[in-house]
Amino acid sequence: MLLAALTAVAAVLPAGIAWVGKLIVDAVVAAGRGEGPPGRVTALVLVELGLMALSLTAGRLLGLERELLRARLGNAVNERILEKALDLELRHFEDAEVYDKMQNARREASARPLSLVMQAFAIAQNAVTLAALSALLARLSPWSVLVVVASSIPAFLAEARLAAASFRLNSWRAPEGRRLNYLEWILTRDSHVKEVKLFGLGPLVLDRYRALFTKFYGEDRRLAVRRMAFGVAFGLVSLAAFYAMYALVAARAARREISLGDLTLYLAVFRQGQGAVQNILSAIGALYEDALYMSNLFAYLAIPTGQERARLPAAPTLPRGDPLPIELDHLSFRYPGRAEWALEDVTLTIAPGEKLGLVGENGAGKSTLVKLLLRLYEPTRGAIRYGGVDLRDLDADDLRQRMGAVFQDFVRYQFTAAENIGLGSPPHLEDRPRIEEAARRGGAAAVVEALPRRYDTVLGGWFEAGQELSAGQWQKLAVARGFMRERPEVLILDEPTAAIDAEAEHELFERFRALAADRTAIVISHRFSTVRTMADRIAVLHGGRIVELGSHRELLEKDGRYAHLFRLQAQGYLD
């Protein structure tokens, strides 16, 4: 509201100021001839000073309002974008097109919506200014109003075309822009510096960066040059219009058809009128560009989600607390856009409380199976049932709350040690005894005790006073995080010990067997010694299929793939 009022004040002031300017000149001329009341000139100058002061204050207040609106609006849009990111599913994040949409939306988020509102106000303000100026100008000649408007139209058309071109350029470039950021990231991230130095990657990455930048620069330059050329051409057109008008009015003043005050008035008004028209037109151009960018934002916000929601309106509720059987029924899965199957016709029933080991070469489909179990993806064919209910009919949040998981690519949160563990169960983030218990279970207690501020030590190297840990120490924290859930029904451990030393691993699994005694557990590992001590049954995956299934002893007796791989590893240890 305040913004609208200020805009209205700011809009009519230029015409008022121009009018007073004319009165001053006329009064000066009259005073020179000894006509007019004494003191009139001084009074008028004071009036103009008052109007100018008002204009200055209104301008500043408008700036303030705009600044505050920018913060509020930018933040509101950013929040909306982040909320949407929470709604997106894993498959969206693994899809480059969706990822680009998100980055596009994020990049423009704080600026564009504000600009849209501001351009709308600018149009309104300048339209009012123009109307007021036109009223003054029409006294001289209605034609001159037309000249003011007409001389600005070509500039506007060019501006609109350039706006569309610049938008297209930026949208096309989104994937390359991401690559540019990535190259920058490689050279500036702490985690990459070792390889960059050892392999001498610096010049190579920098060259790629330069090549991309040069391409971007070339495109930007072409656009900027076109903009400049149009700018000069249309600037000359409006200059010509102005001087034609100048010649006309000056001639009339010389013939004494109009006063000297009128001459200054018309020149000022014509100039300002041209300015106002140009402001309006460039605001329309910018509005157009903003609207194009906003369409990006809306495209992002409109990405369909909700597939994770249960298919049935009233999702069946399963009893909580004790594990239920997991059935994989002719389960096949293909990643979107991929031709080959990541999992193919997998049929297997995991009994409540069973410890299942999953082994298989890289890319065999082990992690994919975990993603499907957590309902991060849906089966392409076949089904997974928990307690006899298809996962797609269950509420995804409910399902995930029953599961504890430690991922292969666990996260190193740049927070305190307590938070690194406590994040495994956000409601218990402040529950220190529980966090300490989870640390003990996960084998992280000793790591934390050795830190300078124990549980309150900030970890990682991103922030000041952050304490960096070794890979194995980070992994122990990740395992402890997996133990924050109170009695999960199913525990999924995807390579939980890859970076952990042999002794700690042994201890972890000793504890794990006791802790997970009546829980179902699915353990993925390339270390056969781990799988052997942990698992009741072992499934060997190969090319997305289960090729062998049985206990360690049975599989050895079968003398197939598992036996072969087991002996290879054992041999390695013995040598």
Ligand X SMILES: Nc1ncnc2c1ncn2[C@@H]1O[C@H](COP(=O)(O)OP(=O)(O)OP(=O)(O)O)[C@@H](O)[C@H]1O
Which DSSP category does 458 fall into?
B
> Could you tell me the smallest distance in angstroms from the CB atom of residue 495 to ligand X?
7
* Smaller CB separation from ligand X, 419 or 495: 495
How far is residue 298's CA from residue 80's CA, in Å, rounded to a whole number? 11
What are 333's strand-pairing partners? 343
The structure tokens 């299942």 sit at 356
How far is residue 555's CA from residue 111's CA, in Å, rounded to a whole number? 62
How far is residue 17's CA from residue 265's CA, in Å, rounded to a whole number? 10
CB atoms within 10 A of CB 78: 14
* Smaller CB separation from ligand X, 92 or 355: 92
Q: How big, in percent rounded to 5, are the helix, strand and coil portions of the chain? A: 65, 10, 25
* Smaller CB separation from ligand X, 98 or 451: 98
What are 370's strand-pairing partners? none
Q: Are strands 520-524 and 545-550 parallel, antiparallel or unpaired?
A: unpaired
> Could you tell me the smallest distance in angstroms from the CB atom of residue 404 to ligand X?
19
**Coil, strand, or helix at residue 495?**
coil
Q: Which amino acid is at 197?
A: K
* Smaller CB separation from ligand X, 113 or 365: 365
Q: Are strands 355-360 and 520-524 parallel, antiparallel or unpaired?
A: parallel
Structure-token pair, residue 391: 């996962």
* Smaller CB separation from ligand X, 326 or 438: 326
> Could you tell me the smallest distance in angstroms from the CB atom of residue 341 to ligand X?
9
**Burial class (CB within 10 angstroms; exposed 0-12, middle 13-18, buried 19+) of 537:** middle
* Smaller CB separation from ligand X, 255 or 338: 338
CB atoms within 10 A of CB 228: 10
> Could you tell me the smallest distance in angstroms from the CB atom of residue 85 to ligand X?
18
> Could you tell me the smallest distance in angstroms from the CB atom of residue 336 to ligand X?
7
How far is residue 167's CA from residue 250's CA, in Å, rounded to a whole number? 45
* CB-based contacts of 57, cutoff 8 Å, min separation 6: none
Biggest CA pair distance of the chain:
125
Structure-token pair, residue 5: 């009022």
* Smaller CB separation from ligand X, 293 or 333: 333
* Smaller CB separation from ligand X, 362 or 571: 362
* Smaller CB separation from ligand X, 274 or 368: 368
How far is residue 176's CA from residue 351's CA, in Å, rounded to a whole number? 49
> Could you tell me the smallest distance in angstroms from the CB atom of residue 346 to ligand X?
12
> Could you tell me the smallest distance in angstroms from the CB atom of residue 474 to ligand X?
18
* Smaller CB separation from ligand X, 275 or 544: 544
> Could you tell me the smallest distance in angstroms from the CB atom of residue 305 to ligand X?
18
> Could you tell me the smallest distance in angstroms from the CB atom of residue 544 to ligand X?
7
* Smaller CB separation from ligand X, 283 or 342: 342
How far is residue 103's CA from residue 174's CA, in Å, rounded to a whole number? 8
**Coil, strand, or helix at residue 94?**
coil
> Could you tell me the smallest distance in angstroms from the CB atom of residue 91 to ligand X?
8
Residues that bind ligand X (CB under 6 A): 94, 335, 338, 342, 360, 362-368, 408
Handedness of CA 252, 253, 255, 258 (dihedral sign): positive
**Coil, strand, or helix at residue 133?**
helix
> Could you tell me the smallest distance in angstroms from the CB atom of residue 97 to ligand X?
13
Q: Is 332 left (phi over 0), alpha (psi -120 to 50) or beta?
A: beta
> Could you tell me the smallest distance in angstroms from the CB atom of residue 555 to ligand X?
18
Are 374 and 401 spatial neighbours (Cβ–Cβ below 8 Å)?
Answer: no
How far is residue 221's CA from residue 213's CA, in Å, rounded to a whole number? 12
* Smaller CB separation from ligand X, 92 or 434: 92
Are 467 and 411 spatial neighbours (Cβ–Cβ below 8 Å)?
Answer: no
> Could you tell me the smallest distance in angstroms from the CB atom of residue 492 to ligand X?
12
* Smaller CB separation from ligand X, 380 or 414: 380
